[in-house]
Amino acid sequence: MTGADVLLLALGAVAVGAGVLVVTTDQLVRAGLYLVVCLGAVAGLYLVLTAELVAWVQVLIYVGAVVVLLLFAVMLTRAPIGRSPDLNRPGLPAALIGGGAGLGLAALFADAFRWSAVDLPAPGTAESLGTELFRSWVLPFEVLSVLLLAALVGAIIVSRPDIGSRP
Amino acid sequence: MRPVIPYVIGALLFGAGVYGVLRRRNAVLVLMAVELMLNAVNLILVTADTTVRAALPHGGQVFALFVIVLAAAEVGVGLAIVLQLYRLRASVAVDTVRLDAAPASELDEPRVTTS
């Protein structure tokens, strides 16, 4: 057990605990705030795993943008503040499938990697990742920009019924 | 560094996301659970990037960045759909949406509060 292992275990416990609270809490706004804790802990995991740029992009886009959008949606759908008793469907099939997927994958990974150790590489900087991105992955990068444009246009059309329903 | 720790954390987060997608009725909470699943996959990609020596360096981190961009696009379109559903039905419960109804007639319907 090195220092990195202890950090990984602690941040992982925070991430999994907050993630479970996101899907079990009875209060909508708190689910969004637990999601912030979970995503922040995952960003910390990225930092320990030497993925510096991914960690900051995670903080910027997920914690900064996606969660704020989700909280906007919670408010725009007039969600009640406080406990909502009607948030859940019957839990047994969901618990079976979700628990089976999570624990099954965990058992698979634990069996594949046992307790082996690897050395962490030197901290990856934005420069090395950017060089690799624009050297080997230029075409997917450009396709993603087209996809973002399509998502933008699609979101506008979906949210304007006077455009979407025109024959 | 033991690679099994972040891998197991990612697997458990993914399980929590699957549980949330199947359990929740509120569409916004379903989107939050989907974000959990995407994050679990990102964590596994970054861990693989750190622990596996690949021909192309940093492939996993590049994929994680792509998945983050896809998640941003997904949540934008998803929230537009959720808000449109709320405008039509005054409710965002996913199990009361009738998938077999004609969309044109639904637009003309007055607001109905589903049970």
Q: What is the ipTM of this complex?
A: 0.90
How far apart are alpha carbons A43 and A147 in whole angstroms? 25
Please give the helix or strand (H or E) that residue B112 lies within, else none.
Answer: none
**What are the tens digits of pLDDT across the range A8-59?**
999 999 999 999 999 999 888 899 999 999 999 999 999 999 999 999 999 9
Q: Residue A126's closest CA among A62, A56, A65?
A: A56
Q: A130 and B58 in contact (C-beta within 8 Å)?
A: no
Whether residues B19 and A23 touch (CB distance < 8 A) is answered with yes
Q: How confident is the model at residue B103 (pLDDT cuts 50, 70, 90)?
A: low
Residue A154 forms part of a structural domain: no
The partner residue sitting opposite A113, judged by closest CB among B4, B13, B22, is B4
- CATH code of the domain in which A17 resides: 1.20.120.1200
One of 1.10.10.60, 3.30.1490.20, 1.10.287.3510, 1.10.3720.10 is the CATH number of B4-108, namely: 1.10.287.3510
Residue A62 forms part of a structural domain: yes
Q: With beta carbons under 8 A apart, name residues in chain A contacting B4.
A: 109-110, 113-116
Number of domains in chain A: 1
Whether residues B61 and A54 touch (CB distance < 8 A) is answered with yes
Give the pLDDT mean for A84-92.
82
- Tell me the sheet residues that pair with B74: none
How far apart are alpha carbons A164 and B11 in whole angstroms? 40
The partner residue sitting opposite B9, judged by closest CB among A15, A31, A89, is A15
| Mean pLDDT, rounded, of chain B | 85
What is the model's pLDDT at position A46? 94
Sign of torsion over alpha carbons A87, A103, B65, A40? positive
Residue A115 forms part of a structural domain: yes
Residue A29: is it exposed, middle or buried by C-beta count within 10 angstroms (0-12/13-18/19+)? middle
**Structural domain boundaries enclosing A28:** 3-83+92-136
**What are the tens digits of pLDDT across the range A102-151?**
999 999 999 998 888 888 888 778 888 889 899 999 999 999 999 999 99
How far apart are alpha carbons B27 and A6 in whole angstroms? 36
What part of B 33-52 touches A (C-beta under 8 Å)? 33, 35-36, 39, 42-43, 46-47, 49-51
pLDDT at B115 over 60: no
Residue A147 forms part of a structural domain: no
% of residues, chain B, pLDDT over 90: 56
